[in-house]
Structure 1
Amino acid sequence: MAVKPNQLEKARRLSLLGKTLYYVVLAIITLIIFVPLLVVVFAAFKTSPELAATSPFSLPKSLSFHNFAVAFEKANMLVGLMNSLSVTVSSVVINAILGAMTAFVLNRFNFRFKKTIFLLFIVASVVPAYTTEVARFQTIKSLGLYNTIFAPLIIYAGTDLMQIFIYLQFIEKISKQLDESALLDGASYFRIFRSILFPLLLPATATLAIIKAVDIMNDMYIPYLYMPSKKLSTLSTALMTFVGERATYWNELAAAIILVMLPTIVIYLVLRKFIFAGLMDGAMKE
């Protein structure tokens, strides 16, 4: 059956309208995200009189790094960076090992309550975190870990459903014949995991480690609640304290925000290819 010319023209117009709406929405979302960032960047390089006298969207007259120096010193950024790195690196290492081990057991072994354990991970991911916060806080305090760097470390080190799911997708592509051959050679299950399986999971581990590291670096709630001491402040809590102390100095606050953002931005820009590669590899089965 032949298609009428007016129907083809109508289809073209609808397609053009759809594409136009798509790009308009995309442009609006881009502006919503980047305009506030540009305002912060511009303000960070302005002096207080210049900030008060000019538009937030105007370029700074000169690139002065005085605000960054003040923010770095007053906000105790160096201590915050060291604490953030300590918590992040330790948590990510423990989290990767626990997550890979859990996925290995769930994939390679059949045992009683296996489905129940996996269901519990699903339930834990659905239950709102604030409903269990009181019990978690009491547990951390009873262990004597409150106001120590180990409190957030234990919380962050726990594995989650997304991590297990990605690891399971990778393990599914690893032949069980490797395990069987190693067992015939006298290797233990731990040796199989350490020497055979875990090295093959490095793409997934790199992806999950980056995502987890960015999440920990950006978190303010857990460090603020479990490490109130100033000497244990992270980048996020140091920024919050600085906001309270210098609330009227918008240029210094903008500089502090940029300093806090820099580690996360650097991590993402340097390692972004591992994020997409790991997620895509885990999503495809052979």
Structure 2
Amino acid sequence: MTARTEFARGGVVTFAKYASLVVASLVVIVPLLAIVLTSLRTSDEMAAGASALSIPRNWFNLHNYAVAFTQGRMPLALWNTAFILFFSLLGTVFVGSMTAYAVDRHHFRGRRVVLALFLLAALVPSVTTQVATFQVVNTIGVMNTRWAPILLYTGTDIVSIYIFLQFIRSIPLSLDEAARIDGAGPLTIYWRIVLPLLRPAIATVVIVKGVAIYNDFYIPFLYMPAQDLGTISTSLFRFKGPFGAQWEVISAGAALVILPSLIVFLALQRFIYSGITAGATK
């Protein structure tokens, strides 16, 4: 009787586990499927009141994608996004890794205070400092340029600093001491020894931070109001204006925005999990 009870409990637990996985998968897949199916419909199908998950008449109807790509100015938006993404990630990697290296390897007065301030900055909601941040950005003359979001993305990423800090703590100090004996300075040690060993952390930061920048709407919309400086998120938002009732075209634009990040995530997802796990266990 006890064995049967344990077997029944095990079956219930297994069923609940896989059922929760199926539900979670549907929550993610169904909206994406609705966007793709809607983007393949014609205006007549949409006017007929077709369901979001109904099958389109023509699976090769790419007219909506052509309209979204040309009239939605998606090439310019992709270029602006790629420009901001590249320099933001480059700055985040170097600033974050050098900050973590300085905090961990160099013992100075007030070191714990600096770490506490980093933690405090991570806990403060960013929206509470936007008035002051806007004034600073406007004062230094980068308002309505691509450099405004680049500076903000680079200088406010506290999480990346902590990721690099966890990895640097796993690097033996004996490597630094051996390099100092050979006459290497702090910058040479960082560039020749520490930075190459941070490749898993760099991959983790680049992927996590890159997805966040790619999907961000608030900072580009606030600090780059010019339409020629629109990113994919702000261009998609503005794209709703002339095509407010044409959901098939809007869905095609949304699919174009989702596709690059989806491909990158599926190709590099193992680096996310392995990098975070390595940083937690080392």
Q: 1:18 deviation in Å?
A: 2.4
Structure 1 stretch displaced more, 14-23 or 237-246: 14-23
- For residues 207-261 of structure 1, give each alpha carbon's deviation from its aligned partner in whole angstroms, at most 9, with x where no partner exists: 1111111110100110000000011100110000001221100110000000111
Cα distance in structure 2, aligned partners of 1:142 and 1:259: 36
1:274, 1:159 → 2: CA distance? 23
- Cα offset for 1:49? 0.5
Aligned residue among 233, 236, 241 for 1:236? 233
Output the CA distance in 1 between the equivalents of 2:128 and 2:177: 44
1:40-94 CA distance string (max 9 Å, x none): 1001111011233333222212111110000011111011000000000000001
Please give the secondary structure, in 1, of the residue aligned with 2:91: helix
AA at the equivalent of 1:7 = T
Unaligned runs of 5+ in 2: none
**Cα distance between partner residues in 2 of 1:113 and 1:10:** 60
In structure 2, the partner of 1:179 is: 176
Q: Which piece of structure 1 moves more, 32-41 or 8-17?
A: 8-17
How far off its partner does 1:25 sit? 2.6
2:56 alignment partner in structure 1 = 60
Amino acid at match of 1:105: A
Q: Structure 1 residue runs of 4+, over 6 Å off? A: none
Q: Distance in 1 between matches of 2:202 and 2:148?
A: 23
The alpha-carbon deviation at position 159 of structure 1 amounts to: 5.1
1:40 aligns with 35
1:281 aligns with 2:278: yes
Aligned-residue offset at 1:150: 0.9
Alignment gaps of 5+ in structure 1: 1-5
Aligned mates of 1:25, 1:16 — CA distance in 2: 14
Q: Counterpart of 1:84?
A: 81
Q: Secondary structure at the match of 2:149?
A: helix
TM-score norm. by structure 2 comes to 0.95
The whole-number CA distance in structure 1 between the counterparts of 2:107 and 2:178 is 19
Q: CA RMSD in A?
A: 1.4
Judge which range, 204-213 or 154-163, deviates more.
154-163
Aligned residues: 280
Distance 2:188 2:156 in 1: 22
Of 139, 157, 169, the residue aligned with 1:142 is: 139
Q: For residues 271 and 51 of structure 2, what CA distance do their matches in structure 1 show?
A: 40
1:155 pairs with one of 152, 156, 167: 152
**1:11 maps onto 2:43 in alignment:** no
Q: State the percentage of identical aligned residues.
A: 39
